[in-house]
Amino acid sequence: MVNRPEIIVEARNLAYHYPGEEATSFPALSGINVAVYRGEYLALIGPNGSGKTTLLKLFNALLVPSDGEVRVEGVSTIDEVEIPRIRRICGMIFQNPDNQLVATTVEEDIAFGLENLALPSAEIRQRVGEVARMLNLEHLLQQPPHLLSGGEKQRVAIAGVLAMQPGCILMDEPTAMLDTASRRDVNDMVRMLRQNHNIAVVHVTHFPEEAAFAERVIVLNQGRLVRQGPPKAVLTDLSLLHSLGLQSTAASELAALLREDGFELPSQLLHNRELVDSLCSLELKS
Ligand X SMILES: Nc1ncnc2c1ncn2[C@@H]1O[C@H](COP(=O)(O)OP(=O)(O)OP(=O)(O)O)[C@@H](O)[C@H]1O
User: From Mg ion, ligand X, another protein, none, which one binds at residue 46 (CB under 5 to 8 Å depending on kind)?
Assistant: ligand X
Asked if 50 touches ligand X (CB under 6 A), the answer is: yes
Tell me, what DSSP letter sits at residue 184?
H
CA distances from 132 to 135, 144, 198 (A): 5, 15, 18
**Residue closer to ligand X (CB basis): 85 or 206:** 206
The upper half-sphere exposure of residue 61, i.e. CA atoms within 13 Å in the direction of its Cβ, equals: 21
Among 11, 32, 39, 51, binds ligand X (CB under 6 A): 51
In the chain, how long is the greatest CA-to-CA distance? 69
Helix (H, G, I), strand (E, B) or coil at 46: coil
Amino acid at 48: N
Tell me, what DSSP letter sits at residue 244?
T
**Shortest spacing between CB 22 and another protein, in angstroms:** 22
Asked if 60 touches another protein (CB under 8 A), the answer is: yes
In degrees and rounded to multiples of 5, residue 134 shows phi and psi of -60, -40
Among 12, 38, 125, 227, binds another protein (CB under 8 A): 125
DSSP 140-165: GTTS-GGGS-HHHHHHHHHHHHHTT-
Residues 14-33 binding ligand X (CB under 6 A) are 18, 21, 28
Residues 148/150/151/157 CA torsion (nearest 10 deg): 80
Binding segment (CB under 6 A) for ligand X, from list 48-56, 104-112, 185-193, 276-284: 48-56
Among 108, 152, 173, 209, binds another protein (CB under 8 A): 108
Asked if 65 touches ligand X (CB under 6 A), the answer is: no
Query: Count residues contacting another protein (CB under 8 A)?
Result: 40
Asked if 96 touches another protein (CB under 8 A), the answer is: yes
Among 17, 52, 88, 216, binds another protein (CB under 8 A): 88
Site residues (vs Mg ion, CB under 5 A): 53
Residues 268/271/275/281 CA torsion (nearest 10 deg): -90
The upper half-sphere exposure of residue 172, i.e. CA atoms within 13 Å in the direction of its Cβ, equals: 20
User: From Mg ion, another protein, ligand X, none, which one binds at residue 94 (CB under 5 to 8 Å depending on kind)?
Assistant: another protein
Among 99, 180, 196, 239, binds another protein (CB under 8 A): 99
**Shortest spacing between CB 53 and ligand X, in angstroms:** 3
For the stretch 117-121, contacts whose Cβ atoms lie closer than 8 Å and that sit 24 or more positions apart, written own/partner, are: 117/84, 117/88, 117/164
Q: Are 58 and 66 within 8 A, CB to CB?
A: no
Asked if 77 touches another protein (CB under 8 A), the answer is: no
Among 9, 34, 159, 164, binds another protein (CB under 8 A): 164
Among 107, 152, 185, 209, binds another protein (CB under 8 A): 107
Which residues form the interface with another protein (CB under 8 A)? 60, 62, 83-84, 87-88, 91-92, 94, 96, 98-104, 107-108, 111-121, 124-125, 128, 144-147, 160-161, 164
